[in-house]
Amino acid sequence: MINEFKDVVEHPARSVRLAMEKTGKKAVGCFPIYTPDELIHAAGAIPVGMWGGPEMGNLSDKYYQTFCCSVVKANTHQALRGDYDHLSAVLVTAYCDTLKCTIENWKVAVPHLNVIPVVYPQNRKLEAGKQFLIEEFQRIRGELERVLETEITDEAIEQSFALYEAYRKAMRTFVDVAGNYPGLIDATSRHAIIKAAYFMDKEEYLEKLNALLNELAAIPAEEHTHKKVIITGLLAEPDEFLDLFAENSLVIVADDLAQESRQFRVQAVQEGDALSRMARRIADQDGCSFLYDDEKSRGAMLLDMKNRYGADGIIYCQLKFCDPEEFDYPIIKREMEEAGVPLLYIEIEQQMDSVEQLRTRIQTFAEIL
């Protein structure tokens, strides 16, 4: 079953096309992170995660400087190559300068992809911020209705939101138990299981995940001597990097990755309609480098996670040139030093062929632990 998830992640374009054929649905691309996928689902389409890829190419050089992150450049390269032509629209967020430029660049570079910007309020916890976000969701709803030539009813949004809440709850259960099985679910498998959700129809994915969780429930936790780590950052890829965890007897007991747990760790409040609950979920999301946080609570959150999961150390996975993550690092570094928590900083690229330097870092960290 784990191999099925891996297969989806290894062939994302094929997986999305397959899901479109099976369901007869259209598909909409979603840049990282926190796009309102529920609205796409409510429109009867499949939200597709756009998380770069192993090939950055050079087509994007026309639009970006060398110091822009590889996720955006890889997405752009793929878009220019026609890889996303099966998408009806693309939601592009505006968290950093590179993403902001992407919204404008793509309107020119790939106009047929119907770029829909998604702007999050800086003061997301204020009532005015929540209201702004609800109105933003309404605007996106209208854009999706126009592009997908359909009506998105309130009822459909409520149903999609309920499905996504079920999905997020199942994901929280999965990441909680995955650390009990370092042999069965190594770092690479853990990542594939989570990431497959971006390329599958949500109902089918949830069904498969629940089946996996049922199987796991029948398997006793593995006895192991692995050191327990928490990973934090935008993402932790490629597989060659994740393979180093098993190689050095490290098990990921929890993550604070934008691509993984940040997507589903916040449970929605019960009151209000779906759009206000979606806005409230963003307001309640703390410790994320992409959302303004005047409390700078990420360090305290990581320390709490460390204690809760009995972790031995934390690995800060810095995607090269990801500004929001770079801004957070000095604060996290100081707080972890003060708390005496081992912290490893590593720079990664999705397109890394050689991981020798990373091997030395990960192995040394394991030796320190």
Number of Cβ within 10 Å of residue 334's Cβ equals 11
* CB nearer to other proteins: pick between 28 and 352: 352
* CB nearer to other proteins: pick between 71 and 115: 71
* CB nearer to other proteins: pick between 235 and 291: 235
CB contact at 8 A, 258 and 29: no
Q: Which parts of 293-332 interact with other proteins (CB under 8 A)? A: 320
User: Should residue 361 be labelled a site residue for other proteins when binding is judged by CB under 8 A?
Assistant: yes
Alpha carbon distance 57, 80 (integer Å): 10
Supply the minimum distance, in Å, between the C-beta of residue 354 and other proteins.
Answer: 11
User: Should residue 364 be labelled a site residue for other proteins when binding is judged by CB under 8 A?
Assistant: yes
| Residue span binding other proteins (CB under 8 A) among the ranges 174-182, 190-198, 284-292, 340-348 | 340-348
C-alpha triplet 32, 35, 37: angle, nearest 5°: 125
Alpha carbon distance 201, 304 (integer Å): 34
Question: CA nearest 168: which of 315, 34, 302, 271?
Answer: 34
Q: Which parts of 58-97 interact with other proteins (CB under 8 A)? A: none
Going from the C-alpha of 132 to that of each of 42, 120, 336, the distances in angstroms are 21, 8, 35
Size of the site for other proteins (CB under 8 A): 13
CB contact at 8 A, 163 and 41: yes
Sign of CA dihedral 170, 175, 179, 185: positive
Supply the minimum distance, in Å, between the C-beta of residue 360 and other proteins.
Answer: 5
| Residue span binding other proteins (CB under 8 A) among the ranges 7-15, 176-184, 196-204, 353-361 | 353-361
Alpha carbon distance 235, 51 (integer Å): 9
Supply the minimum distance, in Å, between the C-beta of residue 355 and other proteins.
Answer: 11
| Residue span binding other proteins (CB under 8 A) among the ranges 173-181, 188-196, 252-260, 355-363 | 355-363
87-93: strand order across its sheet: 45-49, 26-30, 87-93, 115-118
User: Should residue 356 be labelled a site residue for other proteins when binding is judged by CB under 8 A?
Assistant: yes
Amino acid identity for residue 229 in this structure: V
Which tokens go with 191? Answer: 């990542």
* CB nearer to other proteins: pick between 125 and 359: 359
* CB nearer to other proteins: pick between 17 and 333: 333
Supply the minimum distance, in Å, between the C-beta of residue 261 and other proteins.
Answer: 26
| Residue span binding other proteins (CB under 8 A) among the ranges 38-46, 111-119, 251-259, 341-349 | 341-349
Q: What are phi and psi of 237, to 5 degrees?
A: -145, 170
* CB nearer to other proteins: pick between 147 and 355: 355
Supply the minimum distance, in Å, between the C-beta of residue 289 and other proteins.
Answer: 19
**Which residues of the shown chain bind other proteins in the complex (CB under 8 A)?**
320, 342, 345, 347, 356-357, 359-361, 363-364, 367-368
